[in-house]
Amino acid sequence: MKIIEISTRRRVTIAMFTIAVLLFGSVSLSRLKINLLPELTYPTLTVRTE
């Protein structure tokens, strides 16, 4: 119950901590390099006759 008591007494601190975590998460997500659709390379078949 100590966490609940701290969070009710220090509302501004908890709000600033939450905003900092959200800001850090959004910055990290924007810098993350993920391809949603990878490059597609189709296999080719070459037939040579002589």
For 3-12, the pLDDT digits (tens) are 888 888 999 9
Flag whether 43 is in a domain.
no
Flag whether 16 is in a domain.
yes
Distance CA 49, CA 4 (A): 79
| Total domains in the fold of the chain | 1
**What is the pTM for the complete model shown?**
0.58
Flag whether 17 is in a domain.
yes
Q: How many Å separate Cα 42 from the centre of its chain?
A: 30
Flag whether 50 is in a domain.
no
Flag whether 36 is in a domain.
no
Domain assignment of residue 27, given as a range: 2-31
pLDDT at 4: 87
Flag whether 22 is in a domain.
yes
pLDDT digits (tens, 9 = 90+) for 1-50: 788 888 889 999 999 999 999 999 999 988 888 777 778 889 999 999 98
